[in-house]
Structure 1
């Protein structure tokens, strides 16, 4: 009999990856953006009950599949339940023809992705067991990014396959040893980032990011609003036939990985459209450097700030070398992104994401999933084996611009693979001309000192947290040096004092003393009116 490990009576700190994914997911109401949906084919002489038992064993082995997340005194905390009710649905598709089966499976994937999760209720995953025919099954598995990442997909699929094979053969499954639980991992990573390590990392990144451009110079279609909306849209296109073979051949010839060539082409695209020689890109990294984490199901992904020097008009081969060096430098000095923001408290521009606004993501297996309607960054390029898409902030860009960027990326990628000795100045000739930027405008209200009791109390809370007086109720919390975790703690303090509920998303929409004071008063009055 399999028994779960003992669980502490109280919660334990969330991991840094959980913290980042949770913060991001609270800023939008778009479930597909923060939900991974995978399909695991199963060919075995088993029945539905065997598949349910396989999912149960997977859940027992991996804590994140039994975890809920709660904010306690402004800190995100994970609660690992010893047991959860399995959220498993069933669908018999065996009577459908192959075309109808494919359509129904696609529809079910979308349904699973679009159904929101409540982070405070475990489990943060759901599955559907599909009967496709005699001895042929498929398991659709949807999970929130706070408990599941792309490496988890490989681990979960491998374990389910082995458990089902063992059930068919009447033996015990041979599964990887898990020497550490996920909650133990969270404890260890926080202990490892002690004062000495934090100081060394801070020194490295302050040097590495000195003089970092506060915002990219890609032309916008309209002036940037003072507050971020996190509303996004996407445009996608298929990669041309033969690009995969060209990519593999070029990577082998240049002694690199295909993903680095894809990233290098993106850097070239950003240079072409911005004219900048100092390009900054947000890059997700696996975060599984320790061997004990390799077989775990959970979220470990971190965002790395990639800064690439494009001076002296490098050719593609030299640009690739610079990109690869920047990636390696970040891997050697890995630090949780939110900690990096905290350690580099430089004032920020209102409405501008911290440190980077342009991101790149490579999906090594499977498709790009359901369409999304939110965006953390200004632009995100997602590349899969046969598809590429641009996710863009609709407050800044039009669909026509996203289409142009996609077209230019595919052209630049093909040209770079064909002639890696081409210099950037000539590589840009295969793409279209740069567009003109939207003219900026200034809608900032006149400076106003805190006026009401609530505004003064909010200003006092900001002063205590940020170490600076707030003399204008229209000053931006993040421009004053605040970051997302400080915002979470500050909201916990103020909402408790006012018996009011203000979400992170509401605060991010207007991160000023005036905006927060208004939100506190509004929700408090709403509560009083209902009593």
Structure 2
């Protein structure tokens, strides 16, 4: 296998270059990213990146050609964003695709990728939106690194690009013709959205959201004492075995739901227990892809909308899960309504006013890739911005389930996020057990603390609390400590013990 280490190469199989496209409007999802970028043009939190770990004797030259062709087919990877008369627009400008070919140790590769992720992006430059690299990290081990600004792609778009590269590479290895490309021009997506915004479906969606969010009052995002004003995003991963995923699926099926919906229900119930709110509003990322062109074309279309769920202590596990299922179903039918328009409708003009609480990002599809028989394992390095907390769930290694927590440092510190993870996982396990063994039991009976934690919090006392009213408890305590201050009043003075207090009460 011939390697060309540590220098970029070019591939232009799909597009030899040419004039830019007509000026296209930004998709509504792109607009939010654009204005966020303008607020912090030197920031890097809007970068997204995956590292695909490929094990086996990969032909680097064939892979590079396949990658160059796939990138050249995707209009969104060739956009340049600028302003015309104060309005942001995008042009598609295809050119040669640069693929970095590197030979590094795994530690060096990690450092190289971190350095690239920390590089500010110029949305109007020819090569600012992305970095593509094939890194040989050992004998029979390659990493495909792909970093793209969030204005061009979402997670679904990255998966489409990955599958296309794998398809083209597999055909090349088999010495077969390249399968016909399926990506539609970006202009089809912008034209389709323009028609939606001017049509009856938009009006219907607006009416749905006006009714669904009536009376909504945004609540402050929970924070932990160790949160700080600055720092990098915090990230935690828990890999659950296949047996646990099977248990979650069985529990969900009993309520005619899926494991993904069970994770959402557990997140809502857990937030209810932590804050006491019965009006839980989670952020639900939706693909916002309704037509065949959008479903097969990489672009930034994801729309994060509120998932408003009533959670009451007396709800049974089955009732809570069913409510989540029905709410997700309703929201999906109206997922095209732009988040920016909904914020305007709710008069949430300040960027600091939260539309939702924690985001729950469920990826129920398997992201693994096959490069002519060589397995490719996708490792996400950066998923884009996080306002406070993002909960993630996706198929994990060996048929299991990977759960993630990403937190903004202004909302969580390391210890606070770790504690949140512990109680969240415990609630998920408890809700699963409740659905399997006692689906009619109320969710208020689920414990967030272990027996040892309860004993620690109560100084070892395990007897049940005495059922006393507040006046009864006050009188009993005053009798136990007759000389201690029982009541201090600026008007009536100080009363000590039960006798003085009762005398004052009877006066």
Q: Tell me the TM-score normalized by structure 2.
A: 0.72
- 2-side partners of 1:359 and 1:300: how far apart? 17
Matched, 1:193 2:194: no
Q: Give runs of aligned pairs for residues 35-74 of structure 1, distance below 5 A.
A: 35-39=48-52, 41=54, 46-48=59-61, 50-74=62-86
- 2-side partners of 1:2 and 1:220: how far apart? 50
- 2-side partners of 1:231 and 1:73: how far apart? 36
* Deviation for aligned residue 1:13: 0.2
Matched, 1:424 2:424: no
Which residue of the partner structure matches residue 171 of structure 1? 176
- 2-side partners of 1:402 and 1:321: how far apart? 28
Note if contact 2:71-2:161 (Cα within 8 Å) is conserved in structure 1.
no
Note if contact 2:222-2:411 (Cα within 8 Å) is conserved in structure 1.
no
Q: Give runs of aligned pairs for residues 13-162 of structure 1, distance below 5 A.
A: 13-28=25-40, 30-31=43-44, 34-39=47-52, 41=54, 46-48=59-61, 50-81=62-93, 83-92=94-103, 101-123=105-127, 124-131=129-136, 137-162=142-167
Q: Alpha-carbon deviations, 1:286-330, whole Å to 9, x = none?
A: 222212222222222111211001136212221111111111111
- 2-side partners of 1:106 and 1:246: how far apart? 35
* Deviation for aligned residue 1:411: 0.6
Note if contact 1:129-1:137 (Cα within 8 Å) is conserved in structure 2.
yes
| Among 364, 367, 389, the residue aligned to 1:379 | 389
* Deviation for aligned residue 1:280: 0.5
Question: CA 1:10 to 1:155, structure 2 compared with 1: closer, same or farther past 3 Å?
Answer: closer
Note if contact 1:283-1:303 (Cα within 8 Å) is conserved in structure 2.
yes
| Among 335, 338, 341, the residue aligned to 1:336 | 338
Note if contact 2:271-2:280 (Cα within 8 Å) is conserved in structure 1.
yes
- 2-side partners of 1:170 and 1:392: how far apart? 46
* Deviation for aligned residue 1:213: 2.1
- 2-side partners of 1:151 and 1:217: how far apart? 28
- 2-side partners of 1:362 and 1:355: how far apart? 19
Q: Alpha-carbon deviations, 1:389-417, whole Å to 9, x = none?
A: 44334444444332221111011111112
Note if contact 1:234-1:389 (Cα within 8 Å) is conserved in structure 2.
no
> Secondary structure of 2:446's partner?
helix
* Deviation for aligned residue 1:105: 4.4
Which residue of the partner structure matches residue 328 of structure 2? 327
Question: CA 1:192 to 1:141, structure 2 compared with 1: closer, same or farther past 3 Å?
Answer: same
> Secondary structure of 1:17's partner?
helix
- 2-side partners of 1:368 and 1:316: how far apart? 33
Q: Give runs of aligned pairs for residues 513-524 of structure 1, distance below 5 A.
A: none
- 2-side partners of 1:381 and 1:133: how far apart? 33
Gaps of 5+ in 1: 94-100, 436-531
- 2-side partners of 1:400 and 1:103: how far apart? 27
Question: CA 1:328 to 1:415, structure 2 compared with 1: closer, same or farther past 3 Å?
Answer: same
Question: CA 1:176 to 1:247, structure 2 compared with 1: closer, same or farther past 3 Å?
Answer: farther
- 1-side partners of 2:428 and 2:51: how far apart? 28
Q: Alpha-carbon deviations, 1:428-484, whole Å to 9, x = none?
A: 454789x9xxxxxxxxxxxxxxxxxxxxxxxxxxxxxxxxxxxxxxxxxxxxxxxxx
Give the strand-richer structure, 1 or 2. Answer: 2
Note if contact 1:310-1:319 (Cα within 8 Å) is conserved in structure 2.
yes
* Deviation for aligned residue 1:270: 0.6
* Deviation for aligned residue 1:104: 4.5
Which residue of the partner structure matches residue 455 of structure 1? none
Q: Alpha-carbon deviations, 1:461-510, whole Å to 9, x = none?
A: xxxxxxxxxxxxxxxxxxxxxxxxxxxxxxxxxxxxxxxxxxxxxxxxxx
Which is worse superposed, 127-136 or 416-425? 127-136
**Alignment length (residue pairs):** 417
* Deviation for aligned residue 1:23: 3.1
Matched, 1:360 2:365: no
Note if contact 2:392-2:405 (Cα within 8 Å) is conserved in structure 1.
yes
> Secondary structure of 1:31's partner?
coil
- 2-side partners of 1:398 and 1:138: how far apart? 31
* Deviation for aligned residue 1:423: 2.0
> Secondary structure of 2:189's partner?
helix
Note if contact 1:283-1:306 (Cα within 8 Å) is conserved in structure 2.
yes
Gaps of 5+ in 2: 1-12, 368-376, 458-507
Cα RMSD after superposing both structures? 3.4
> Secondary structure of 1:246's partner?
helix
For the pair shown, which has the larger CA radius of gyration, 1 or 2?
A: 2
Matched, 1:204 2:208: yes
> Secondary structure of 1:212's partner?
coil
